[in-house]
Every structure is written in C-alpha cells, then in structure tokens.
Amino acid sequence: MRAVVVRGFGGPEVLELAEVEVPRPGRGQVRVAVAAAGVNPVDAVTRSGVLAQAGLMAPRAVTGVGWDVAGTVDAVGPGVEGFAPGQRVVGLRDRLDVDLGTYAEQVVLDADALAPAPAGATFAQAATLPLNGLTALQALDLLALPAGSTVLVTGAAGAVGGFTVELAALRGLRVAALAGPEDEELVRALGAEWFVPRTVPDVARAVRESVPGGVDGAVDAALLGVRALGAVRGRGAFVAVAAGSAPTALRGIRVANVWITADGPALARLSALAADGRLTLRVADTLPLEKAADAHHRLEAGHLRGRLVLTP
Ligand SMILES: NC(=O)c1ccc[n+]([C@@H]2O[C@H](COP(=O)([O-])OP(=O)(O)OC[C@H]3O[C@@H](n4cnc5c(N)ncnc54)[C@H](OP(=O)(O)O)[C@@H]3O)[C@@H](O)[C@H]2O)c1
C-alpha cells in the first residue's frame, strides 16, 4: 500500500509517497482503510523536525505523518470488541514513535482510539473531528470551569478554537472569542457571546472591556501566551496548546498545557454531537494523497478556514 513518510526532516518536499507493507492489527487493534486524513499543524512540525528539536519525539529512520483519520474498518485483531469490518469510523493516532501515520491507504490503531464516524457526515468532514475536537474537549476539562463562567478563546476561527467555542457554549460557559475581524460572524455563529478582533493593540484591555475583572479562564489556541494571560482574572485558569507557549503562572492563575490523548469514548460523544449538528465540521479542501506536499505548503501559508483533508 502507499503511505507518506519522512526520511529526513525539512520542507514539504521531504514528504515521500512510499510503497510499504500493509500493517497488520495486533491484539486490541483495528486496521482502517483510510478514506480521509486531516492535515494539521502538528504534521508540519513533525515533518520539519521542530518536534524532534523540542524533545517531543526521538528522531527515527522513518517517520509516519498524520493523526486524524476517517474510513472503514477492514480488519480487527484478537480481543477487539465493538468494531467490525465495514464499519465507518474516525480515529486518532496520538503516537509519534511509529513508522506510519494516517497519511496512508491503511492505518492500524488501538481500538480505544476509534469511534463511530458521525452519521450524515462525509469522510472528509469526519476526518476534521478527532485531533481538534478532542484537544478542545481536553482543554476545557483542564480549565474545569462551572457553567456560567467566562472563557476567552484565542484563535477562535481555527480548528481547535472553533471546536472550543462550540463545546464551551454547550457547557454553559460564556465565550469571548478572539479572531480576525472577518471571522466575527463565524465565531458568533459557533456560540461566542463577545467578539474581540485580533487587531486590538492590547488583548487584555479589550477583553476586560467586555468582561470587567477578566475572564475566569482562557484557551490560547493562537499561542498569544502572556498577552492573553492578562485577560484572565486572578486565580483563574489558562490552557496553552503548544510547547513553549505556556506563560508563567502569574497572579495565582493555574496554567496548564493540553497534550492530546486518544480517547475513543470521548470521541464517540463528539461524533454524536457532530451528527446532531452541534459541532461544526469544516473542510477547506480535499486533495489526493500524492498532493501531501501541496497541502503542507497551503497549511503553512495560513489563513485556511476549515481543515485540508487528504483522500487516498
Ligand atoms: N497540544 C495539543 O495537544 C494540540 C493539539 C492540537 C493542536 N495544537 C496546536 O494548537 C494550535 C492551533 O491549531 P489549529 O489546528 O487550531 O490551527 P489553525 O486552524 O491554524 O488555527 C489557529 C488560528 O489562530 C489564528 N491566529 C494566528 N495568529 C494569531 C494572532 N496573533 N492573534 C489571533 N489569532 C491568531 C489563525 O488565523 P490565521 O489562519 O488567519 O493566521 C487561526 O485562525 C497549533 O499550534 C497546533 O499545533 C496542539
């Protein structure tokens, strides 16, 4: 089968479409025939070597690329219950230390990293859910705010930010969304009560004009760090999303970094929300597997709305 691999870190041109052996599912594992694989920022920093430099993965002879998958179960290993060949699923590969990612025609995942695909969604739409839906959910869990609390979401029009706005509103949180002026309508439709344009010179002051005293918590999907921390009240909570983007925990603010973890049952709940139309699955474009390098060029150029998806 064909899979995209990296043999030496670098620009998008190092993404190599290789012929590899079809992986076999072991005990507790499921093989998925990939219909769609989301293209995420983590894939670009895996490919470029930034993750290896940051100590988040050991350099390897061959590195697989891609975390998000939607497709059809095509084989199950011993001991797997709840999944059978032919079933439409979504899943998350959350390990960097393996030879194959989801940019492939088939991928083997642990059964507990899978969930039924959202009913009514295309495979491309479904592939936008696992990584960023789970990150949003796990970030909000880290904030641990009761209903009625206020939360700032930066990068609110992005993949993590958009799901965070929707899931926060579903939890009864009151959301201030920071995004580009052209995205106000979008983030309000996702559930934001207040809008803060990213062009403001002082994020903390602008947020505090809407929420006097500061928000109870923040999810910083735009990596603003200390610029967003100033919007949070003393003894509030702040969740960073990337290595090196967590600010110092000033004023008694609880600062945590979310690190995505595969979670099949939680993904199944997200999938049901998406099927009900309560989570919005946004696809910027679909490209064939052999266009992975083009997809990375477009990802790194920025300003995408919705996810690029590879469709082997
Ligand atoms: N730790 C984890 O477990 C985990 C999991 C998933 C993702 N992540 C990380 O989370 C981050 C967001 O991922 P994503 O997929 O949501 O990316 P994305 O879809 O590109 O969204 C990021 C958003 O932030 C906006 N933005 C960029 N700079 C900004 C600024 N200075 N002020 C306000 N908004 C700004 C971007 O707008 P433009 O497109 O217009 O620039 C975009 O809308 C990435 O760093 C990713 O690696 C971490």
- Residue 227 Cα to ligand 1 middle (Å): 15
pLDDT value of residue 147: 98
* Closest Cα to atom 18 of ligand 1: 158
In this structure, the answer to whether residues 46 and 147 fall within a common structural domain is no
Task: Check: pTM over 0.85? Answer yes or no.
Answer: yes
276 located within any domain: no
Q: Does residue 268 fall inside a structural domain? A: no
Note the helical H segments in 54-158.
123-126, 130-143
| Of 17, 41, 44, 39, the residue nearest 100 (C-alpha) | 17
Assign residue 7 the CATH number of its domain.
3.90.180.10
* Residue in 42, 96, 140, 303 to alter for ligand 1 test, most ligand atoms within 8 A of Cβ: 42
Are 152 and 88 members of one domain?
no
Label residue 240 by pLDDT band (50, 70, 90). Answer: very high
Q: Choose among 55, 60, 136, 134: nearest CA to 101.
A: 60
| Residue 178 maps to a domain | yes
Give 238 Cα–ligand 1 centroid separation in angstroms.
16
Checking if the pLDDT of 69 tops 90, the result is: yes
Q: Answer whether 72's CB lies under 8 Å from 34's CB.
A: no
User: 71-110 b/e with 16+ CB inside 10 Å = b?
Assistant: bbbbbbbeebeebeeebbbbbbbbebeeebbbbbbbbbbb
CA of residue 302 to ligand 1 center, whole Å = 9
pLDDT at 88: 98
User: How far does the centroid of ligand 1 lie from the alpha carbon of residue 160, in Å?
Assistant: 7
108 in the same domain as 94: yes
> 110 with 148, same domain?
no
pLDDT tens digits for range 83-94: 999 999 999 999
Q: Over the stretch 197-210, which tens digit does the pLDDT of each residue have?
A: 999 999 999 999 99
d(C-alpha 234, C-alpha 58), whole Å: 38
Give mean pLDDT, residues 39-44.
98
80 belongs to a structural domain: yes
pLDDT, position 32: 98
Question: Between 35 and 60, where is the model more confident?
Answer: 35
The tens digit of pLDDT for each residue in 73-131 reads: 999 999 999 999 999 999 999 988 888 999 999 999 999 999 999 999 999 999 999 99
So what's the pLDDT on residue 242? 94
pLDDT at 59: 82
222 C-alpha to center of ligand 1: Å? 5
Residues with CB under 6 A from ligand 1: 40-42, 131-132, 135, 154-155, 157-161, 178, 180, 198, 221-223, 241-242, 258-260, 302-303
Domain with 81, as residue range(s), is 2-129+281-310
Verify that 102 and 147 share a domain, yes or no: no
The whole-number average pLDDT for the span 125-145 is: 98
- Out of 166, 184, 196, 223, mutate this one to test ligand 1's pocket (max ligand atoms within 8 Å of CB): namely 223
What's 149's DSSP letter?
Answer: -
CA–CA dist 88, 142 (Å, integer): 30
User: Are residues 153 and 165 in contact, defined by beta-carbon separation less than 8 angstroms?
Assistant: yes
Report d(CA 241, CA 253) in Å as an integer: 16
Mean pLDDT of 44-62: 93
Are 54 and 23 within one domain?
Answer: yes
Is residue 302 one of the residues assigned to a domain? yes
How far apart are the CA of 132 and the centre of ligand 1, in A? 10
DSSP state letter for 104: B
CATH at 215: 3.40.50.720
C-alpha of residue 12 to centroid of ligand 1, in Å: 19
Tens of pLDDT, residues 246-302: 999 999 999 999 999 999 999 999 999 999 999 999 999 999 999 999 999 999 999
Same domain, yes or no, for 19 and 123? yes
Q: Is residue 62 part of a domain?
A: yes
In this structure, what DSSP letter does residue 145 have? P
Average pLDDT of 168-194?
98
- Position in ligand 1 atom list of the atom nearest CA 135: 5
| Residues 153 and 122 grouped into a single domain | no
Q: Are residues 103 and 216 in the same domain?
A: no
Which of 220, 277, 304, 308 has its CA nearest to residue 37? 308
Percent above pLDDT 70 for the chain? 100
Check whether residue 247 and residue 298 sit in a common domain.
no
Residue 245: pLDDT above 90? yes
Do residues 251 and 295 share a domain? no
Q: How many whole angstroms from 224 Cα to the centroid of ligand 1?
A: 10
Domain count, the chain: 2
- In the predicted model, is pLDDT for residue 5 greater than 90? yes
Rounded to the nearest angstrom, the distance between the alpha carbon of 101 and the centre of ligand 1 is 21
**Atom number in ligand 1 closest to CA 260:** 3
Residues 197 and 285 in one domain: no
Domain contains 170: yes
Nearest alpha carbon, ligand 1 atom 21:
158
Per the model's pLDDT, the better-predicted residue between 152 and 96 turns out to be 152
What percentage of the chain exceeds 90 in pLDDT?
A: 96
Average pLDDT taken over every residue of the chain: 97
Whose Cα sits closest to atom 38 in ligand 1?
303
Task: Assess if residue 228 is contained within a domain.
Answer: yes
DSSP letter for 57, please. S
